[in-house]
A = this chain, B = another copy of it.
């Protein structure tokens, strides 16, 4: 950030009075421009013993398999955002939707919130997907998943499925992931 979005003058990086961290503050109108983490919402569609994944048609990780997810928008709930992404990326609807898996990724200022739900009817692809497909556990392309959170959600899901118990968990993504898939 270089300029004030309210008045167009330059901002400086300084610790405002009563605060304890650097903020961008306008040199003219004194507005403090806070910057906060963003929320990514997604949903794992389940059909019997299969889950629905999409192959990414966009960078980063073009061509890798992912769970429908994207940035939460103003004016929607987390679940509404997750269902919107499921429609947009997999042309799919889900029902019996439950909160499932949260992640903190503090080094990129993101929070992930995944739901899971029963696939309801047909599915297809949206503009951000090359392909959509149902996978049984033994078919999951573990080495071709897009992001650490996708690996973790799928690992947890198939594990929880054996117990028929799906607690809501929150963690950082598995640190092993990068070396497992050769992520740079």
Contacts and interface: CB of A to CB of B under 8 A. Distances in A.
B170 A78 contact: yes
A36 B2 contact: no
A1 B7 CA distance: 9
Interface in A67-107: 71-80, 99, 102, 104, 106-107
B2 A7 contact: yes
A136 interface: no
Nearest to A24: B5
A111 B167 CA distance: 20
Give the bracket for the number of chain A residues in contact with chain B: 35 or more
B73 A21 contact: yes
Interface in A46-82: 71-80
A10 B5 CA distance: 9
A131 to B, nearest CB: 19
Contacts of A36: 38-39, 71-74
A37 interface: yes
A141 interface: no
A159 interface: no
A6 interface: yes
Interface string A19-50: 00100000000000111111100000000000
Interface of A: 1-11, 18, 21, 33-39, 71-80, 99, 102, 104, 106-107, 109, 111, 113, 127, 167-170, 172
* 6 nearest CB pairs, A to B: A77-B104, A3-B8, A168-B168, A74-B109, A1-B5, A99-B170
